[in-house]
């Protein structure tokens, strides 16, 4: 029952993030809301849910927006798994650590996509993209991570699921 | 603990294998999975889109309420000017047709509109700027068809589902369009530039240092491309940066269509519908 509830909540989150992410666009940069949820679930759950959240969220994003299904699913799955492993090693449940992990994951995601695009579509200008997109996206996603964490704290205090 | 770690690794390996198989399957054709998910998400996108448009239009109206009078005056003046110009152009058009007939030249094909669609979802990632529109296979849309609106070129169709399709706009880094400068018919390649600092712009590639390009030049699609028909308005040269040392020229182009604000689009037939062949 808990799993079903969780999956329904996840589907609602994904639909909202798919239709509302573009509204949060600032200076041409969109925060990666899907990545935030994958990292947070990975860090805060005691089992392998991070991995499966990554898989579901990534597949959903790929099916709707990409031409090739699975590119995002693969990296989200690994990020979910890695954040689960990190949470077991360090066991730090504070906001700073979570935000830091989100920032690092965002960078990892950017580099992965860059390598993939480099292989299949031959992009150039790594430095330009670093300044233009990687760093701003990382900062913006981290800031959104703080907001999502605050909402989560508020929800767990006042709303009982 | 060790056992749990091992079982987790097995989960990871199985997941990766499934995803990699999916990647290989989806490279060639649209999967059933994709159609199924789109049936569910399309109505949701339509609802959120209409709610979003309702609020933004109301907000815009309230913000611009003071300017309406002056804007209206300007538009009336512009309309009069354009009407006068249009009358002259009509005469030229007739004359042109007659002259072409005399010379027995082939009439230029006008763009054949296949369908008119509406954008229902904007991109959610900086890396993938694909737009989703509400027309698909059921409306005779095919891959590599050209997407325009009343201002000019938007992009091309990269994937078609039953009821929706994905557009790759010209500002996407992966897009490249063969164009020419309308002033001197110089051939250039226009590439997307959405990951650099100038987000809503494109750049010109493969240009020589002494190429004759000026700021404000109009860029239109050329005849060389296998996909895009000739003469669609693409953009204007915004900025030219020259580096004398490395003899390199960077040319930024501002598209005539603001991709972020696109609502209605027209899908037109491309020159040759090339199956399974990418002309990025």
* DSSP class per residue in A48-100: THHHHHHHHHHHHHHHHH-SSTTHHHHHHHHHHHHHHHHHHHH---SHHHHHH
Average pLDDT over residues A64-71: 83
B152, B170 contact by CB (below 8 A): no
ipTM at complex level: 0.80
Q: Which residues of B touch A144 (CB under 8 A)?
A: none
Residue B106 has a pLDDT of: 58
Please tell me if residue A7 touches chain B, with a CB cutoff of 8 Å. no
Name the pLDDT band for A92 (thresholds 50, 70, 90). Answer: low
CA distances (Å), origin B197, targets A127, A133, B166, B193? 11, 8, 25, 9
Please tell me if residue B193 touches chain A, with a CB cutoff of 8 Å. no
Q: What is the pLDDT along chain B (280 residues), one digit of tens a residue?
A: 556 677 778 888 888 888 888 888 877 776 777 778 878 788 888 888 888 778 777 887 888 888 888 889 999 999 999 999 999 999 988 888 888 777 766 555 567 788 888 888 888 888 888 888 888 888 888 888 889 888 888 999 988 888 888 899 988 888 888 888 888 888 888 888 877 777 788 888 888 777 788 888 888 888 887 888 888 888 888 888 887 777 778 888 889 888 888 888 888 887 665 444 444 4
Query: Hey, which residues 87-106 in chain A have their CB within 8 Å of chain B?
Result: none
SS3 B112: coil
**Tokens 């066991």 belong to residue:** A91
Q: What is the pLDDT of residues A124-156, one digit of tens each?
A: 677 777 777 888 888 888 898 888 888 888 877
Q: Distance from CA of residue B18 to its chain's centroid?
A: 33
Residue B82 has a pLDDT of: 93
Q: Which residue has the higher pLDDT, A18 or B253?
A: B253
Cα of B198 to nearest chain A Cα, Å: 8
Q: Which residues of A touch B27 (CB under 8 A)?
A: 68
Q: Give phi and psi for B74, each to the nearest 5.
A: -60, -45
One DSSP character per residue, A115-144 reads HHHHHHH----HHHHIIIIIHHHHHHHHHH
Cβ separation A67–B197 shorter than 8 A: no
Q: Which residues of B touch A29 (CB under 8 A)?
A: 126, 199
Q: Per the confidence metrics, is the pTM higher than 0.90?
A: no
Structure tokens belonging to residue B241 = 């940066």
Nearest CA in chain B to A111: B127
- Among residues B157, B130, B121, which one has the least CA distance to residue B266? B157
Structure tokens belonging to residue A97 = 């650590």
Q: Which residues of B touch A55 (CB under 8 A)?
A: 15, 19
Residue A40 pLDDT more than 80? Answer: yes
% of chain A residues with pLDDT over 70: 94
Residues A59-78 as b/e (b if ≥16 CB within 10 A, e otherwise) read bbbbbbbbbbbbbbbbbbbb
Tell me how far apart the alpha carbons of residues B39 and A49 are, in angstroms, rounded to a whole number.
27
- Among residues A55, A48, A91, which one has the least CA distance to residue A74? A55
């Amino acid at each position: 029952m808990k799993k079903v509830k969780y999956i329904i909540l996840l589907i609602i989150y994904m639909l909202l993030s798919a239709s509302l992410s573009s509204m949060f666009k600032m200076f041409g940069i969109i925060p990666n809301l899907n990545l935030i949820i994958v990292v947070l679930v990975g860090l805060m759950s005691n089992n392998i849910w991070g991995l499966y959240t990554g898989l579901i969220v990534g597949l959903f994003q790929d099916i709707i927006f990409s031409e090739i299904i699975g590119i995002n699913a693969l990296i989200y799955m690994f990020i979910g798994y890695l954040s689960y492993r990190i949470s077991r090693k360090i066991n730090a449940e504070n906001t700073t650590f979570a935000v830091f992990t989100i920032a690092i994951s965002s960078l990892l995601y950017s580099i992965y996509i860059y390598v993939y695009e480099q292989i299949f579509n031959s992009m150039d200008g790594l430095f330009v993209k670093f300044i233009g997109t990687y760093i701003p996206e990382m900062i913006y996603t981290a800031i959104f991570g703080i907001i999502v964490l605050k909402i989560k704290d508020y929800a767990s205090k006042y709303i009982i699921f | 603990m060790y056992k749990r770690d091992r079982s987790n690794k097995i989960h990871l390996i199985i997941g990766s294998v499934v995803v990699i198989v999916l990647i290989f399957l989806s490279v060639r054709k649209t999967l059933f999975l994709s159609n199924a998910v789109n049936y569910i998400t399309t109505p949701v996108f339509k609802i959120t889109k209409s709610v979003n448009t309702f609020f933004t239009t109301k907000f815009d109206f309230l913000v611009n309420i003071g300017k309406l009078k002056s804007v209206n005056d300007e538009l009336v003046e512009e309309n009069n000017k354009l009407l006068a110009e249009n009358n002259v152009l009509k005469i030229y058009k007739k004359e042109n047709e007659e002259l072409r007939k005399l010379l027995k030249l082939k009439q230029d094909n006008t763009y054949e509109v296949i369908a008119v669609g509406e954008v229902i979802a904007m991109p959610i990632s900086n890396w993938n700027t694909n737009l989703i529109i509400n027309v698909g296979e059921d409306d005779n849309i095919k891959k590599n068809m050209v997407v325009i609106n009343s201002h000019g070129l938007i992009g091309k169709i990269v994937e078609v589902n039953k009821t929706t399709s994905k557009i790759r706009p010209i500002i996407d880094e992966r897009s490249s369009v063969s164009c020419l400068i309308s002033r001197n018919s110089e051939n250039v390649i226009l590439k997307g530039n959405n990951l650099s600092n100038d987000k809503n712009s494109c750049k010109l590639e493969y240009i020589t240092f002494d190429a004759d390009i000026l700021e404000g030049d109009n860029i239109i699609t050329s005849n060389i491309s296998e996909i895009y028909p000739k003469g669609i308005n693409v953009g204007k040269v915004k900025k030219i940066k020259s580096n004398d040392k490395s003899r390199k020229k960077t040319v930024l182009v501002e598209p005539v269509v603001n991709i972020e604000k696109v609502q209605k689009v027209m899908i037109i037939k491309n020159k040759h519908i090339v199956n399974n062949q990418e002309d990025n």
